[in-house]
Amino acid sequence: MPRVFHSAILKAPSDRIWQVLRDFGRLHRWLPGIAQCAVEGGGAGDRVGAVRHLVARDGTEFREQLVALSDYDLTLAYSILEAPFEITDHLAELRVIPVTEGGGSFVGWSAEFSCQPDRQERTGQFMVNEVFRPGLAALERGLAA
C-alpha cells in the first residue's frame, strides 16, 4: 500500500492549531479547494464515527469518516468513504506536536491507500501537492491572520 507524508513547522502554538484541526466538520474554513463541508445528520464534528460530506470548488463530492481523535495526542485519523476516483483502504492521519525549542508546532499529514498500481504515484502526488502541502500552508496563513 502506498504511503504519502507531508509535514511543516507552523509558528502557531499546538493548542491553537489543534482547535482548528479537531473540528472535522469545518474543513472548508481552512483547506483550499473545499467550498462546503458538513457533518451528516448535523452531528458533532469531534465525535468518532462522524461522516463529513465535502464539496470541492469544482463541484466534486467526497464523504469521509472520522475514525480516531485524541485531544491528548493531538491526532485525528479519517478515511475516505466515497470519492470521484478509485481509491480503497484509505486511512489518513493529522498529528500536531509542540516544538519545545523555539516554539511553534510540527504538523504531519499522512495517508495510506490502495488503488490501481498504475495510478499509485499520481494519486500520492495529488494528495501531497494538491491537498497536504497547500492545506498546511493555508492553515498557517489562517492562524497568522
Give the domain CATH number at 101.
Answer: 3.30.530.20
Is the predicted pLDDT of residue 47 greater than 80, yes or no?
yes
140: containing domain: 3-144
Q: State the total domains in the chain.
A: 1
Q: Tell me the pLDDT tens digit for each residue of 95-144.
A: 999 999 988 999 999 999 999 999 999 999 999 999 999 999 999 998 88
What does residue 101 show for φ and ψ, rounded to 5 degrees?
-95, 105
Provide the pLDDT for residue 45.
80
- Say if residues 10 and 128 touch (Cβ distance below 8 Å): no
